[in-house]
Structure formats: structure tokens, C-alpha cells
A and B are shown apart, each in its own frame.
Chain A
Amino acid sequence: MGVDGSNDSLQLLDHFGSLYTMEDYRTNGYQVYFNSSWMANSRLTLHSSLLYNWSQAELELVDMPHVTEEVEEQLHHQDFTFEEMHTYSDLKYHYVNVQLGFDYQLTPRIAWMFNMDYSHLTADEEYVFGDEDGSMFITRTGVKIDF
């Protein structure tokens, strides 16, 4: 049927609505941690912690319905297979954080504290920000005084 009620579909040349399909988007994440504090003697306490986080998000392969012959004829130069489309938004991160430190009681009211904090992030799938792999290392030291 044409736009004016006649059987004149040429009036609508090159317009075919849209294709759609239902796809799953998966998100998974795992995190483990371990903290320990050990008082080695009356002056020295050792601290340690470990954190590992893995997270992933991905779309399943986009499997569009078959384009009919009529559409294929007029849109033959277009690709409706979408073999790469599901990878556009893939995310996969590994994050590790390790902390080691100690408190040493210099006097009953003064303690010396030292801590090392190392974090590393790996992004297996490059997102819109480019390569996000990176690490950070922080060393802290100082004294705590109780009055």
C-alpha cells in the first residue's frame, strides 16, 4: 500500500524500518581479600593486606534476523552480520592491592608508623579511554603522638 492509499510502494524507496534482536549482557565480578595484624612483641606490630578484584562485562554475539531478499537487493552494500559489534563495550579489569606496614612503639605515647601501598590495574579490553593499565605505589611514614 502506498502512502496515499494506492499500491505504490516506490514512494517509500529505501526505507525498511529496523531490525532487532534480544541479546544478553553479562557482568561478573570476584573479589578476595586477606588482612592480618600481628603483634610481634610489646613494641612492634606488623600489618598486611591483600585485595584482588576481577570484573568483566560483555555483550553476547549479536545475531540479527536474516535480511530479506528485497532488502538485500537494495542494501547489498551494507553489512548486517555485526560480528564485531558485541565487543565494542567489553570490559575486563584485574586490580591488585598489597599493603605492608608496621607500628613501632618508641615510647608509651609515641609510635613510629611505616606503610607501603602498591596497586596495579590491568585492563584486558581497551575502552574509550585507551590503554588503562597502570600502577601506583605509595610510601607513608610518620609518628603518632598521644597526649
Chain B
Amino acid sequence: MRNAHACWSLLICLLILGTATVAAQDEGMTTDMTVWLGNHYTSFNDYSHKVGEYNVGVNEWMPEGSFRLLHYGEGKLFRAFASFYDRRNMDGDLGLNLGDKLALDVTYRSLVHRPGQDKLANIAAREYFGQNDAGEDQFGGKIATHELQDMGVDYEVYRKEILSKLSLMLSKKNNIKLEAMHRSILEDGNEQGVTTSHCFSCHLVSEELVVENRTHEVQAGIQGDVSDKVTLGYEFDFRTFKSNAPEATRYYDTAKHPVHGGAGAEFSSRVLFDDTNLVHHRLPETQKMSHKLRTKARLGKTGRLNASFGYNTAENKNVDLTTESITGAARYTATLAPKTRIIAKASGARIEADDPFINIRDFRAGRDSPDYIQTDFDYTRYSSLDRTEVDVSAELIHRASKGLVLYWMNALELVDRTDYPVQDDGIRSKTFITQAKARFNKMQSFNGSVKYRYEKTVDPFISGRGIFEARGREELARTIPAGESVHRFIYYYAREGLRYQDITTDPNNRHEVEARLSFPTASNGSVNLSLTGWFQNTTDLDSLDVRSWQIRPNAMINLNPSPEWMVSAGYTMYMGKSRGPVTVALFDG
């Protein structure tokens, strides 16, 4: 990485020197240059990962500096900026703009994030039976334990991003432009990884993981005018993600009774793995690709149409799983009357994900006692990503008077999930939206806006696996097939049938309000007031009284009591409440 920094530094110096040389010879151009040279001293007291979550300062004077150059005139602009705070906080920007012929921009940003360490201290519990006749505490077999193998480690993730953008005019005749973009995000450092053995031991282990994530993206496109009224364009995007970190492995506990250590074969037969070293926290190597066709057209005297059509793929290369989608979007604006405009939008997407067959070890394989069951859990996983989405909306904008503009928007959003949770099944959720807004502007006096929005969702998404168990063992009895009933024990998987299948925590009513007001004060000051809030609840499925709300008032004032004195102050409040289910299982053993 030091080599990369050296290369960047060298490149920036060469460009700056080159530009400064050119600038000195370039007549009719203006050059502004500012240099900052300084240093800083940082001291922490007590815990530093929260108050200094993005700062790795040290208790000594450290150098810092920045450089800014602007060279402009005659429709041309060159800018260069470089900033060094410490070796993990550096920024740079190079830009060149030659009117509509060429626009080039290269930026570099870096920062460090220092997350704290979860001490897992709340993962320490054991079933308590009470006291025996001798007054001694009696404990059961349900235990949760934790282990920090990396206690006291300081985690740091160093993030760097390089972004380059190019726009080049190939031909002025048809306004043919080449546009390209490249972005790389590099993340290095260490982080906390927590793994859990199966529930026979509920043993959580924390260890330090190496972070070495690489994201690269390239985008290229071309657009041109095919007539006086129509512009066509094509865009290609390719993005990859990969972790170069060494694989982390962990030993998973031997399956056995957590207290007396017996019944190992029985415990082992109920889990997919135990007494083995396995790789964990492996990040998927992914690859995304998209092709997009775009068009802009003038329709009639005032109509404008923007439309696009895309084909996208996303692939997890570790497990050879692919998601494909076809998307389309259109936006039409037109003037209906001298003071009335319409904005109509429509978009749609068809998303399909691979349906992998999940082949896993049989439950209780090798255990052949007649009172015990064996079960094959192999299944085909149909994804909730499979869906068709359609959004349509129309907004009318009417200038009622010189200082008053009215907006009214209606929309429909449709999500049609297919093959979920089983093949040929699905959920079709529909959301109807209406929104009204008024914007007023009394020059020299005040301006502001008020908005109200209402969303009504019919058939909100419901988890195909249920949310949590209903009450009562009679209910559980009805969920177990008669052929599997000749046993005494109820296993965890059997309890899945007891879960509520028809409730959701998604809202189907949502109200939003927003009001803003600004007015000037004496001495060139201003006051800005705003209030935003929303309320949402579920009424269609009345088994859960899910509801939540937020309200956020804000006040800000800017004053200039004298030409030499500027003051600003503000107050923001946030209040919210969210109601949801809290549930606990009732069982013993």
C-alpha cells in the first residue's frame, strides 16, 4: 500500500508542477493557489473507540498539510487539491474541464473506522432450578457461554476510495459523447468475528479477523443525437467484490450433553457438524454486470421523455448462484396548460434468482431406535428475490398564483413475489400512494412548504417461515404428521409448524407530514423552521398491533449582528416509538 501512496503522491506532484508551469505561461487565465502547513496533537482519555471512532490521533505533534490550486478562464478549468491529516486520512482531487469537449475528474478519499469490541459479557447464563433442601443452588443443562480469544484488540478498518470520471466529446456533429467511470474501494485492517457452536453448547467465540476487501467497478457508455429530437445512449457497468484475507477457521465443539458430557452420538446426529475445524466469515466473491439503453426525446411542443431499458446479472462465484433482472423506466413531462405541468413516471423490473437444491445430512442419521425419527431436510430454496415490480405515478403541478405552487401526486407500487415460499405460490403486495404539497414564496417576507403523504399497502410481505410460535401444545400436535407421531420428543424443527404464518411486522398504513418555513430577520439574518413526522401501523392483520411513529422538529437561526460578527445556532429534536412483539418460548428440555 505504501507503493500505492508513493505513486499517488508522485502523480499529484507531477500534475501540480506541470499545471503550475503551464499556468505561468498561459495568458488570459487566472491562477489561485493556497497551501496549508500545520500540525496537530491528539490526546484521549478513557475509552477512545466511541468518541474517536474515526480518529487515530496519537499523543505527539503530527504534521499535516493541504494544497489547493485553481486555474481557470476562457471556459477552461483545472483544479487540484490534496490534503494530508495522517496516513489514514488523506484526500485528493484532480479535475480538468475544457468546456463541452472534455471533463476529467479523479478523486481519492480515505478514512479509518475504529469499531469497539463486543465483550459478549451478556452471553453468560445458565438455567436455574432453585435451591435444594440443603439450600444449595441447582442448575439445569441450558447454558450460554462466551470466550474472547482476542480480548483487548483494537480493531481498525482503513478505507480508501479512488474514483475517476471522464466525459469526452467525440463528435460535435451529433453531439456524440464517450463517458467512462472507474471506482475502486479498498478496505484493510482487522475486525471482530463471532462464531457460535450449535445450541448444545451455545458457546460463542470471538476472534480477530483480517480485513482485505477489494471492490472494483468500471462503467463505460456512449450517447449521441440521432435526430433533432431524439438522443440515444448505451451504458455498460461491471463490478466485482473479493476478499483477499486469509481464511479464518475455528474448532466447533464436540456435540454432547452440556452438563454431564454424555449422549454424544445422539447429540451429534442432530447437527450438521461438530468436533471439526471449519472456515467461517467467508465473504462471497461477487460479480455484477449491467447493460442499459437510454433515450431522451422531445414529444410535441412541451413534452419530454426519458426512458431506459436494462439487463443485469449478479453472481456469487463461491457457490455459482446467479440473479438476473430486466428493468425499464420512463419519465414523461409536459405542459398541460399555461400554468399546469404533469410528470408521469413508470418503472418495472423482473428479478429471478437461481433456486439451489440444499443437500444436507439427514437428521439423526444412524440412530435407528424405533421410538425416534429420522428426517431428510433436503429442499429446494426458492428465493424471495424472485419478483415482478411495477411502479407508476403521475404528478400535477399547478402555479395557482405568483407565490403559490400546488402539487398533487398519485402512485401505485406493485410487488409480485413468485415461487415463495414454495413453488407456484406467491404474495402480491400493492401500495397506493397519494401526496399533496403546497409551496409558497412571498418575496422579502417568507417562504415555505407543507406536504402530506399517505400510503396504503394491501397484502404486505409475510415471511414464509412464520414469525414466532403460537401458544399451546394442542396447536403443535396438529402440525405433526400422523406418521411421525410415535415418539415422545418434539424437536426444534417440528416447532416451526407452530409459528404464526399470516402475520407481519410490515405496516400497511403510513402517513407522512412535512412543513418548512423560512423568513429573514433584521441585519441580513434568517430563521428556518421545519417539522417532519410519520406514523405507520398494521390494521389488515389484527393479530399484532404493530405501529411506529417519528417526529422531528428543527429550528435554525443565522444572524449578522454587525459586519464583523456572524452567529448561527440551531436546535433539533428527534422522538420516535416503535411497537413490536417480544416473545419467549415455553418449553423444558
List A residues at the B interface (Cβ < 8 Å): 1-5, 9, 11-40, 55, 59, 62, 64, 67, 71, 74-75, 77-80, 82, 85, 88, 95, 113, 119-121, 123, 128-147
Q: Does B52 contact A (CB under 8 A)?
A: yes
Q: Does B103 contact A (CB under 8 A)?
A: no
A16-B471, A128-B118, A128-B119 known; A80+B51 contact, CB < 8 A: no
Dominant SS at the B interface? strand
Taking each of A71, A121, A136, which has the highest tally of chain B beta carbons within 10 Å of its own beta carbon?
A136
CB distance from A100 to the nearest CB of B (A): 15
**Chain A residues, CB < 8 A from B14:** none
A14-B589, A15-B476, A140-B39 known; A21+B468 contact, CB < 8 A: no
Report 28 cross-chain contacts, Cβ distance below 8 Å, ordered by A residue.
Answer: A3-B484, A17-B471, A18-B584, A19-B471, A20-B584, A22-B546, A22-B581, A23-B581, A24-B577, A24-B578, A27-B577, A27-B578, A28-B575, A37-B565, A38-B565, A62-B582, A75-B586, A131-B47, A132-B50, A134-B49, A134-B50, A135-B45, A135-B51, A136-B43, A136-B48, A137-B42, A142-B37, A145-B36
Instruction: Indicate if the CB atoms of B52 and A136 lie closer than 8 Å.
Output: yes
Closest 6 CB pairs of A and B: A142-B38, A3-B485, A16-B586, A129-B116, A20-B583, A18-B469
Q: Does B488 contact A (CB under 8 A)?
A: yes
A3-B485, A18-B583 known; A134+B544 contact, CB < 8 A: no
The residue of chain A having its C-beta at the shortest distance from the C-beta of B61 within the complex is A139
**Chain A residues, CB < 8 A from B579:** 22-25
Q: Does B314 contact A (CB under 8 A)?
A: no
User: In the complex the two chains form, what is the Cα distance from A45 to B69 in whole Å?
Assistant: 24
Contact with A17, one of B35, B475, B487 (Cβ below 8 angstroms): B475
Surface stretch bound by A, among B120-128, B226-234, B256-264, B448-456 = B120-128
A20-B468, A22-B579, A140-B40 known; A14+B50 contact, CB < 8 A: no
Total count of chain B residues near the partner, CB < 8 A: 88
Q: Does B356 contact A (CB under 8 A)?
A: no
Instruction: Indicate if the CB atoms of A4 and B565 lie closer than 8 Å.
Output: no
Instruction: Indicate if the CB atoms of A140 and B477 lie closer than 8 Å.
Output: no
**Chain B residues, CB < 8 A from A140:** 38-40, 64
**Chain A residues, CB < 8 A from B567:** 34-37
Instruction: Indicate if the CB atoms of B45 and A17 lie closer than 8 Å.
Output: no
Instruction: Indicate if the CB atoms of B42 and A17 lie closer than 8 Å.
Output: no
Instruction: Indicate if the CB atoms of B45 and A30 lie closer than 8 Å.
Output: no
**Chain A residues, CB < 8 A from B584:** 18-20, 64, 80, 82
The residue of chain A having its C-beta at the shortest distance from the C-beta of B470 within the complex is A17
Q: Does B303 contact A (CB under 8 A)?
A: no
Instruction: Indicate if the CB atoms of B588 and A22 lie closer than 8 Å.
Output: no
**Chain A residues, CB < 8 A from B490:** 12, 15
**Chain B residues, CB < 8 A from A1:** 474, 477-478
Instruction: Indicate if the CB atoms of B482 and A18 lie closer than 8 Å.
Output: no
Instruction: Indicate if the CB atoms of A121 and B480 lie closer than 8 Å.
Output: no
CB distance from A110 to the nearest CB of B (A): 10
Instruction: Indicate if the CB atoms of B565 and A141 lie closer than 8 Å.
Output: no
Q: Does B569 contact A (CB under 8 A)?
A: yes
Instruction: Indicate if the CB atoms of A32 and B570 lie closer than 8 Å.
Output: yes
User: In the complex the two chains form, what is the Cα distance from A21 to B565 in whole Å?
Assistant: 56
Instruction: Indicate if the CB atoms of A12 and B586 lie closer than 8 Å.
Output: no
Q: Does B493 contact A (CB under 8 A)?
A: no
Contact with A38, one of B32, B116, B475, B564 (Cβ below 8 angstroms): B564
The residue of chain B having its C-beta at the shortest distance from the C-beta of A113 within the complex is B38
User: In the complex the two chains form, what is the Cα distance from A121 to B41 in whole Å?
Assistant: 19
User: In the complex the two chains form, what is the Cα distance from A35 to B588 in whole Å?
Assistant: 60
**Chain B residues, CB < 8 A from A141:** 38-40
Q: Does B133 contact A (CB under 8 A)?
A: no
Q: Binary interface profile of B, 441-484, with partner A (CB < 8 Å = 1, else 0)?
A: 00000000000000000000000000011111111111010101
User: In the complex the two chains form, what is the Cα distance from A53 to B546 in whole Å?
Assistant: 29
**Chain A residues, CB < 8 A from B117:** 129
A23-B579, A134-B48 known; A144+B35 contact, CB < 8 A: yes
13 additional contacts, CB 8 Å, given A25-B577, A134-B49, A137-B42? A2-B485, A17-B470, A17-B585, A24-B577, A25-B579, A26-B575, A37-B566, A39-B565, A119-B51, A132-B116, A138-B40, A139-B40, A145-B35
Q: Does B574 contact A (CB under 8 A)?
A: yes
Instruction: Indicate if the CB atoms of A5 and B34 lie closer than 8 Å.
Output: no
User: In the complex the two chains form, what is the Cα distance from A48 to B474 in whole Å?
Assistant: 69
**Chain B residues, CB < 8 A from A38:** 564-566
